[in-house]
Amino acid sequence: MDILRKIEMYREEEEKLRWEGTFAEYLQLLKEKPWVAQSAHSRVYNMIKDAGIVKEKGKKTYEFFNQQLFGLEEALDRLVEEYFHPAAKRLDVRKRILLLMGPVSGGKSTLVTMLKRGLEAYSHSDNGAVYAIKGCPMHEDPLHLIPHYLRKDFYEEYGIRIEGNLSPLNMMRLEQEYGGRIEDVQVERIFFSEDRRIGIGTFSPSDPKSQDIADLTGSLDFSTIAEYGSESDPRAYRFDGELNKANRGMMEFQEMLKCDEKFLWHLLSLTQEGNFKAGRFALISADELIVAHTNETEYRSFISNKKNEALHSRIIVMPIPYNLKVSQEERIYEKMIRESDVSDVHIAPHTLKVAAMFTILTRLKEPKKGDIDLVKKMRLYDGENVEGYNQADVDELKKEYQDEGMSGIDPRYVINRISSTIIRKEVASINALDVLRSLKDGLDQHPSITAELREKYMNYISLARKEYDTIAKKEVQKAFVYSYEESAKTLMDNYLDNVEAYCNKAKLRDPLTGEEISPDEKLMRSIEEQIGISENAKKAFREEVLIRISAYARKGKRFDYNSHDRLREAIQKKLFADLKDVVKITTSSKTPDEQQLKKINDVVARLIDEHGYNSTSANELLRYVGSLLNR
Ligand SMILES: Nc1ncnc2c1ncn2[C@@H]1O[C@H](COP(=O)(O)OP(=O)(O)O)[C@@H](O)[C@H]1O
Ligand SMILES: [Mg+2]
């Protein structure tokens, strides 16, 4: 469908949703849909809730954030459960400014933007509909029209609590345009839009000396004072500050802590009393979520300043740390690359994963428990099975540090290094080694990396490189076998036949000659040795395997290659050990013979077809693994 048609449809859709009526009609509507009168905070919470909450293994994930934010489940859960949820229930936190605190490029702006775009879309839905006094620059809540002395009665009839006072402007309009007849006041449905300055605002401080508070709270329109005769006539005032415009929705306060104090004092009253002072008027009620973001250093210096004391209690700080999972970090890079101009470049498999390993290592803190090293911790955090550890160990590791994830390498740095690799290499393909090299070279130029830190990071690069070596070898060896799974299965069946005969003190039958033969001790040992089973322990191991098989049989389950972790590992290792020499000779021969050449071509083809390489990256991989095996 062409884009103009889509635009037209969108307009038609909005046209259909439009609603206009008198206050009396609005009250009628409230009887059917009382939720449209909800507070701004409640609307934000319901928007998140309506998108869906998935509960799995005691952990919650919010669909609302899922498409854009990765690996922040815990921080987001805390944000929702400690701020949005209680705020929606009108608890005190609602009156505080939400301050997201986290390291640079950790997703804070992304989060705020999601909330804004989310609210825009939500206001088009039935659940997120918003209504306002027509013609009001602040889209004032129509219920403010109900006088205070009737609000208790209103609550009894409608079950809706009203907060806030009718603004001076609408007070005047009520008298002059409607002759005081509240029921006639026109009400309309509004649709949030940052572009049109409806319900979504952004305040970003410029030069504190030149910046005017008007940007926040609106200003007197001097050209109209003569017309209205007085500065205190609300019609002579332009309610067009960000706080005005964001009423009913949310305002992002950029660089809040860098801001001049006078701006912050306005927020103090707004957050405490739900109103702010503008011009010469009585206080103006506002209902909006205010979100700011900052980094840790800035925040510490802010709270250490005595002058800011009164503001402390008006702010709720929510940490937004870096993601600490390798697989999620990979997704972040994939997303950032998709959104960039280099998205058509071939990135060899495992490249982003290896870069992510380096990044996560820089963010993790050294485990206090002696027997876990940093790489193991990285694996555990990513949900991998590490022999000898379980989920309880992961939870314990997480408890060791409160502030993990607040420092380390940011995703932008990695993406910049990847881009610069692509540009410098001038080919349409990059691999893990290219990226590790580039990450390393970039450390010198990174502004916030000290010499000491640099050394540490160099070490993490070697660790990531070691991980890559293992991955690369495995990948090539797998590609060397025609069907890896098949070979593994054959080898295992063979092993099990022998084990069975051994344990039952029986003979095997040679499949070719039909002769009776003794169990192949050499074969069994060559597999068992791969996982360090000693001569003394072999009998117990074999019996244990047989017991497992019969347990499976009893439950009617098939015992297969994946049914026994250690046996699988042994089989894998044995296959690789057998292959090693073949791979070594084939990949490093300077003048491969015809047969070797054919093998190499087969392997390259398999890497391309089945493993996501292109011919450049597949050949690079083979060459690299050849050199590794010859070391
Ligand atoms: N946990 C994350 N999940 C998804 N993307 C992330 C995450 N952390 C950072 N990013 C990406 O990194 C970039 C910088 O994030 P940004 O939101 O601007 O960070 P901040 O405002 O905290 O400095 C963005 O492209 C963002 O999408
Ligand atoms: Mg930002």
Predicted local confidence at residue 303, as pLDDT = 87
Predicted local confidence at residue 369, as pLDDT = 79
Q: Measure CA 352 to chain center.
A: 16
Output the CA 617–ligand 1 centroid distance in Å: 29
Output the CA 103–ligand 2 centroid distance in Å: 9
Give the chain's mean pLDDT: 90
Output the CA 82–ligand 1 centroid distance in Å: 22
Q: Give the pocket of ligand 1 (CB within 6 Å).
A: 68-72, 102, 104-110, 323, 332, 336, 411-412
Predicted local confidence at residue 261, as pLDDT = 76
Output the CA 449–ligand 1 centroid distance in Å: 20
Q: What is the mean pLDDT of residues 568-593?
A: 80
Residue 3 pLDDT more than 80? yes
Residue nearest to atom 13 of ligand 1 (CA): 105
Segments in 198-306 forming alpha helices (H): 214-217, 222-228, 242-245, 261-273, 296-304
Q: Report how far apart the first and last C-alpha atoms of the chain are (Å, whole number).
A: 58
Q: How far apart are CA 102 and CA 298, in angstroms?
A: 10
Predicted local confidence at residue 282, as pLDDT = 65
Burial class (CB in 10 A: 0-12, 13-18, 19+), 512: exposed
Which is the closest atom of ligand 1 to the Cα of 70? 3
Which is the closest atom of ligand 1 to the Cα of 110? 17
Which is the closest atom of ligand 1 to the Cα of 112? 17
Ligand whose nearest atom lies closest to the CA of 114:
1
Residue nearest to atom 25 of ligand 1 (CA): 336
Residue nearest to atom 4 of ligand 1 (CA): 69
Q: How far apart are CA 472 and CA 631, in angstroms?
A: 15
Q: What is the mean pLDDT of residues 372-401?
A: 91
Q: pLDDT per residue over 426-446, tens digit each?
A: 777 899 999 999 999 999 887
Predicted local confidence at residue 208, as pLDDT = 62
Q: How many CB atoms lie within 10 A of CB 240?
A: 16
Output the CA 108–ligand 2 centroid distance in Å: 6
Report the DSSP pairing between strands 429-430 and 346-347.
parallel
Which is the closest atom of ligand 1 to the Cα of 320? 22
Q: pLDDT per residue over 315-357, tens digit each?
A: 999 999 999 999 999 999 999 999 987 778 899 999 999 999 9
Which range among 81-95, 148-162, 180-194, 222-236 shows the weakest confidence by mean pLDDT? 222-236
Are the CB atoms for 541 and 534 separated by under 8 Å? no
Output the CA 293–ligand 2 centroid distance in Å: 7
Predicted local confidence at residue 37, as pLDDT = 96
Output the CA 102–ligand 2 centroid distance in Å: 10
In the block, tokens 């992304």 appear at: 110
In the block, tokens 């620059």 appear at: 137
Q: How many CB atoms lie within 10 A of CB 621?
A: 27
Which is the closest atom of ligand 1 to the Cα of 113? 17
- Can you spell out the DSSP letters for 129-164? -EEEETT-TT---GGGGS-GGGHHHHHHHH-----S
Ligand whose nearest atom lies closest to the CA of 111:
1
Residue nearest to atom 11 of ligand 1 (CA): 107
Residue 280's pLDDT band (cuts 50, 70, 90): low
Residue 581 pLDDT more than 80? no
Which residue in 573, 485, 579 sits closest to 528, CA to CA?
A: 573
Output the CA 383–ligand 2 centroid distance in Å: 29
Residue 243's SS3 state is helix
Q: How far apart are CA 573 and CA 531, in angstroms?
A: 8
Q: Is the dihedral of CA 531, 535, 540, 545 positive or negative?
A: positive
Output the CA 359–ligand 1 centroid distance in Å: 14
Are the CB atoms for 94 and 41 separated by under 8 Å? yes
pTM exceeding the 0.85 threshold for the entire prediction: yes
Which is the closest atom of ligand 1 to the Cα of 104? 23
Predicted local confidence at residue 481, as pLDDT = 78
Output the CA 65–ligand 1 centroid distance in Å: 12
Are the CB atoms for 476 and 348 separated by under 8 Å? no
pLDDT above 70 coverage of the chain, percent: 97
Output the CA 298–ligand 2 centroid distance in Å: 14
Are the CB atoms for 456 and 443 separated by under 8 Å? no
Ligand whose nearest atom lies closest to the CA of 107:
1
Residue 558's SS3 state is coil
Output the CA 72–ligand 2 centroid distance in Å: 16
Predicted local confidence at residue 209, as pLDDT = 65
Strands in 268-382 per DSSP E: 275-276, 284-285, 289-294, 315-319, 346-347
Q: Measure CA 253 to chain center.
A: 22
Q: What is the mean pLDDT of residues 359-382?
A: 93
Q: How far apart are CA 467 and CA 447, in angstroms?
A: 28
Residue 54's SS3 state is strand
- Bridge partners (DSSP) of residue 311 are none
Residue 580 pLDDT more than 90? no
Which residue in 139, 131, 176, 141 sits closest to 21, CA to CA?
A: 131
The tokens describing 277, both together, are 């002072």
Residue 487's pLDDT band (cuts 50, 70, 90): confident
Predicted local confidence at residue 267, as pLDDT = 77
pLDDT above 90 coverage of the chain, percent: 60
Q: pLDDT per residue over 206-265, tens digit each?
A: 776 666 777 887 877 777 777 887 777 788 778 888 889 999 999 999 888 888 777 777
- For the stretch 50-72, what's the b/e string if a residue is b when 16 or more beta carbons lie within 10 angstroms of its beta carbon? eeeeeeeeeeebbebbeeebbbb
φ, ψ at 529 (rounded to 5°): -60, -25
| Residue 237 zone, left/alpha/beta (φ > 0; ψ -120 to 50; rest) | beta
Which is the closest atom of ligand 1 to the Cα of 71? 1
Q: How many CB atoms lie within 10 A of CB 84?
A: 26
Q: pLDDT per residue over 51-67, tens digit each?
A: 999 998 778 899 999 99
Ligand whose nearest atom lies closest to the CA of 406:
1
Residue 88's pLDDT band (cuts 50, 70, 90): very high
- Can you spell out the DSSP letters for 168-220? HHHHHHHHHHHTT-GGG-EEEEE--BTTTTBSEEEE----TTT--THHHH-EE
| Residue 510 zone, left/alpha/beta (φ > 0; ψ -120 to 50; rest) | beta
Choice from 65, 100, 105, 114 to test ligand 1 binding pocket (greatest atom count within 8 A of CB): 105
Residue 316's SS3 state is strand
Q: Which letter does DSSP use for residue 533 in this model? A: -
Which range among 2-11, 34-43, 143-152 shows the weakest confidence by mean pLDDT? 2-11
Exposure on the CB side of residue 52, measured as CA atoms within 13 A: 5
Choice from 74, 254, 295, 332 to test ligand 1 binding pocket (greatest atom count within 8 A of CB): 332
Report the DSSP pairing between strands 250-253 and 289-294.
parallel
Q: Which letter does DSSP use for residue 517 in this model? A: E
Residue 536 pLDDT more than 70? yes
Ligand whose nearest atom lies closest to the CA of 410:
1
Residues around ligand 2, an ion, CB closer than 5 A: 109
Exposure on the CB side of residue 323, measured as CA atoms within 13 A: 25
Q: Measure CA 479 to chain center.
A: 34
Q: How far apart are CA 150 and CA 355, in angstroms?
A: 63
Predicted local confidence at residue 596, as pLDDT = 81
- For the stretch 393-416, what's the b/e string if a residue is b when 16 or more beta carbons lie within 10 angstroms of its beta carbon? bbeebeeeeeebbbbbbbbebbbe
Residue 400's pLDDT band (cuts 50, 70, 90): very high
Q: How far apart are CA 94 and CA 272, in angstroms?
A: 10
Output the CA 107–ligand 2 centroid distance in Å: 7
Q: How far apart are CA 113 and CA 138, in angstroms?
A: 21
Ligand whose nearest atom lies closest to the CA of 204:
2
The tokens describing 330, both together, are 């990979």
- Bridge partners (DSSP) of residue 292 are 99, 253
Residue nearest to atom 14 of ligand 1 (CA): 105
Ligand whose nearest atom lies closest to the CA of 254:
2
Are the CB atoms for 279 and 237 separated by under 8 Å? yes
Which range among 407-411, 575-579, 582-586, 615-619 shows the weakest confidence by mean pLDDT? 582-586
Question: At CA 272, angle to CA 406 and CA 77, rounded to 5?
Answer: 35
Which range among 13-22, 28-37, 108-117, 209-218 shows the weakest confidence by mean pLDDT? 209-218
Choice from 110, 253, 340, 342 to test ligand 1 binding pocket (greatest atom count within 8 A of CB): 110
Residue 279 pLDDT more than 80? no
Residue 171 pLDDT more than 90? yes
Which residue in 525, 430, 441, 432 sits closest to 470, CA to CA?
A: 432
The tokens describing 337, both together, are 């690359």
Output the CA 145–ligand 1 centroid distance in Å: 42
Residue nearest to atom 7 of ligand 1 (CA): 107
